[in-house]
Chain A
Amino acid sequence: MFSSFSHKSFKEGLRMKKKSKKRFSEEKLYDVSLRLSKDDRDMLGLRFPVKIFVQDPFVARQHEEEGVLGLEEIQLDWEPGVDDGPTNSRIAIVDYNINTGIIAKPVQWNRQTKQFVGADDPRSFQFHQVNVWAIIQNILAFFEDPRVMGRPIPWGFDGNRLIVLPHASIEKNAYYSRKSKCLQFCFFIHEGEPVYTCLSHDIIAHETGHAILDGIRPYYFELSSIQTAGFHEFIADLTAILSALSTTQVRHAIADVSQGDIWNSQVISDLGEEFAEKDSKKRYESAQRYYLRTAQNEKKMKEIENEVIPHNCSEVLTGAMFKILAHMTTCLMKKGHTPKSALWNASTHLNRMAFRALDYCPPVDIQFVDYVQAVIRADEQTYPMDRHEYRKIVKEVFESRGIEEIYPKKPPKSVELTWKYDISSIANSRTAAYHFLNDNREALDIPLHQDFQITDLYYTDKVAGANESLPREIILEYVWKEDVLLKGKVFGQLENKKIALLCGGTLVFDERGNILHWSKKGGTQTGEAESEGKQRKTELLAFVKRLLEADLIGWIDAEACNTLTALQPPITGYQDGNVLKFEITPQFLNPSKELGE
């Protein structure tokens, strides 16, 4: 008995020792994994493969004659927290269905083999769980990559894990809900067969784009202008486009058919059919790649002057970015790249250029011109030489869309601060950052009486090209609100209520304390910003009037829960006492259309 116990104990000890050694080495490697290239991480077992659908299998079945894009293996970074569900540090899949109360068993994670178990059959719920998790995690990792934003991205809610419900409810839609801290993917039955939105790469990427932007710039949820709402849709669509292009099958299919001329190619419009299709099935199919089709547009700023639908407004930016991609691809082709190589390089560069700019955007009330300025300024920091002259393409395309003044009015050097500051103190403490802003209110157009908030303070560690380290950026965001009275009969029952004019700024410093970029939204009560602030106030009031006239606002009690958001309008108004707030409602399809089918 003793001997047996001793033997078992010895074996157990040996196993534990081996395990701890393995863990020790994994931990050590994990510590340095960010400094390793993808290939090195692959070789050292710090990445693991998962299979995802690059095209919704339902849509693929309907268009079999056009060629089916199916499963593709992608590599994801390993982290110690990967577990059943799947679950990791940032995402938890909870397969709960509200209609039936059923919770499907979570997929199991094998720590030894670094594989999910029992997720091979694409029809299984466990495969669905892995598919949706892997696509979201892949997109999040892309945004956090040093070549893009070079920093961890928080979610737009209290908490660090986004909950994802792959089979949330039975409807033809998908949602991002900040309030529920989750992404909800629904399913429906078509001719007796279930159709799952959690298998649609496009839908997942679009909703993930909303969730990620909400983490990067949470105040964009609060509407102050149609361009801000349009910007949310633009980022969601761009995430979906670029995520689709990051999959080999989609990219190769487009490159093969277009031979590099993607702007004039039918392949893009073939990916989406008429959105206004009466048949709900077709509408569902076409909606998935609708953004790709509408990206091929020539829409200009003038056409959206009185626009109230966020997605229609976003098409100016989406169209411009797609044109930039087309020009970049052509430019590379002229330099001898094959269509596949040109599209890969162009889409990768645009991907980084488009999203890296988000750190340079104002914290509130973004206008399209702010974004364009941010794209140019961020790219100047990353690629000062611009050897492919991509910035020239960007400038020309945006100017052709009617987005003027694409360079910031005030070059950073002219921000003359009254009081000196120590950038290392600012970078390390919100209080120090507050003191810095407070001391320099006049130069930064912050009214003396406004108690502003530091809404974010972080640094980035970005790289350019082949892992060339860039100077660290310190980014400081501050926000305040001014009450604007809705005065006059034109506001109907909202007369004499108040709405907030969101004001603030983003300051980007380098590690020596130089200001690289300043994107600000002035108020009505400060010196130099006065005229800008007053203009913004006028525009805000006009925007509220347009929303009222268009009947686009639905009202929800400020304290109420979100239960019937399925019936929410594109814009929801919250009324808390005498103060109003408008928020966007990110969802894939307009539910009122669905109800009428």
Chain B
Amino acid sequence: MTVEEQLLVRTYKVGCGDCIFVRIPDKDRLFHLLIDCGNFFGEKTAELKQALKNIEELLNDEKLVPKKQRGHLNLLVATHQHWDHIKGFEILSKSFKKIKIDRIWLSVGMKKDHPQGKQLRALQNRVEETIQKFSRDPDFRLDPGLLSLLSMMSLSNKDATEALTDNIPSKNSIEPFYVYRGFEEDLSAAKEREAKLDFKETTTKLSVLAPEKEIDKSYVSFASGFLGKLEDAEKSMRELVPEDQRTCVPKNISMRQFRELKISLRDASLIAALQSNHIVNNTSVVLLLEWRGRRLLFTGDAEEESWNLMWKNAHSEINEPVDFLKVSHHGSRNGTPFDPDQTDNDILDSILPVKNANVAKAVVSTKVDVIHAEANPVPFPKLLKELAKRVCNTEEYPVERGKQPQRTDKIEENWIDIAIKPKN
């Protein structure tokens, strides 16, 4: 079987972030799909440039790509607005002239005027204000890891967002589509034609399983409750301590001591910020690619709430084994519907049943030298161990936390290639 008869999923090693290139054989041509391009430490762009350079080479491969098609990326998808998924698009818009984009799909969570995303924007604004507040305070220092996390979530990551919403579309004379489950049904006939993916093989299909259109209702209700409580409490604090009952500086400790105290205190606003992180993850575009009898699931950073809604609203698509799974949210505890204490994990058992372990494959882009949360370790070692039982493309995942998988011949220097053969 020649290379072009196999579907290729190339996952670039960009650090803790997603950059996934999919080459889909489609009759006499190749359909090229890029899902996300970013990494956690957005300032380290060398890996992203290297990945984009390789994508540029693949798209312009004279041996494989017909001349008419060369340089064309048929579809670019940004699953959600986090730095570790979109930072590279800023570089793409500036430096890679030989990549021509035909279509852009962005998560509806990124649409500034989406009427069902008002609460999400309020929460994001809160995050922004918090970061601004602290960045104005010369005394405030933040754990560098947490700063990266906040920066990643920040809307101040404007350049990458603008690249996706403005620069890349205008350079390619297209408009981005803000996608959600069933988005095609809401498009006008003309727009639907524009959005339609022109697969030559009629059995090839790319479906959006998430997010839901109604973001606030689906994903934000808890966080807005939290934010609401916080705002109520802040309002109460202002009422309980009227202006004449306040003082500017404490007189019983020195200014130096007060400064030190302030910088070491916790802030519930930052907790709100971390809540918004989960919501934005849940607005990830989740794609199901069906090709020649194979099913490939690309999950972005979808978390528990998104999985539950997919199980409910896209049940027939989810309730069937997949041949490939892009493990969500860098292998975190809440990125995959798996509870180590339960014997039955309905969703995981459906998409990756143990009986299919000899055919199913998976990939996770994660970072092994940082474990950043107690409740949601990245990666979650028990999950990696469980996945190892359900897929065939791993050598050995150690039982213990965070150990790097063994290098194999399948793992190239800068990416991991997974080839999918047609089922029949």
A→B interface (CB under 8 Å): 83-85, 87, 92-100, 102-106, 125, 161, 163, 165, 167-171, 175, 177, 179-182, 184, 187-189, 194, 489-495, 548, 551-557, 560-569, 592, 595
Contacts and interface: CB of A to CB of B under 8 A. Distances in A.
A20 to B, nearest CB: 25
B424 interface: no
B400 interface: yes
Contact of A102 (B141, B246, B266, B400): B246
Contact of A489 (B252, B257, B381, B398): B398
B264 A561 contact: yes
Contact of A170 (B233, B275, B375): B233
A94 B249 CA distance: 9
13 contacts: A87-B252, A93-B252, A99-B237, A105-B245, A489-B398, A492-B403, A493-B403, A561-B143, A561-B264, A563-B265, A566-B271, A567-B271, A595-B226
A548 B236 CA distance: 42
Interface size bucket, B side? 35 or more
Contact of A548 (B145, B262, B401): B401
A67 B403 CA distance: 57
B230 interface: yes
Interface of B: 141-146, 226, 229-230, 232-234, 236-238, 240-241, 245-253, 257-258, 260-271, 274-275, 368-375, 377, 380-381, 398-404
Contacts of B232: 189
Looking at B145, B238, B250, the one whose CB has the most chain A CB atoms below 10 A away is B250
Contact of A492 (B248, B263, B265, B398): B398
B161 to A, nearest CB: 25
A96 B248 CA distance: 10
B249 A103 contact: yes
B267 A99 contact: yes
A565 B266 CA distance: 7
A103 to B, nearest CB: 5
B236 A189 contact: yes
A556 B370 CA distance: 10
A563 B230 CA distance: 18
A83 B381 CA distance: 54
B271 A489 contact: no
B400 A491 contact: yes
A96 B259 CA distance: 12
Contact of B264 (A104, A493, A562, A567): A562
A105 B265 contact: no
A560 B269 CA distance: 19
Contacts of A490: 399-400
B268 A105 contact: no
Nearest to A159: B257
A343 B52 CA distance: 76
A94 B370 contact: no
Contacts of A168: 265
A187 B236 CA distance: 11
Given A103-B246, A187-B233, A492-B402, A563 B142 contact: yes
Contact of B252 (A92, A98, A182): A92
Contact of A592 (B234, B374, B402, B403): B374
Contacts of A125: 240-241, 245
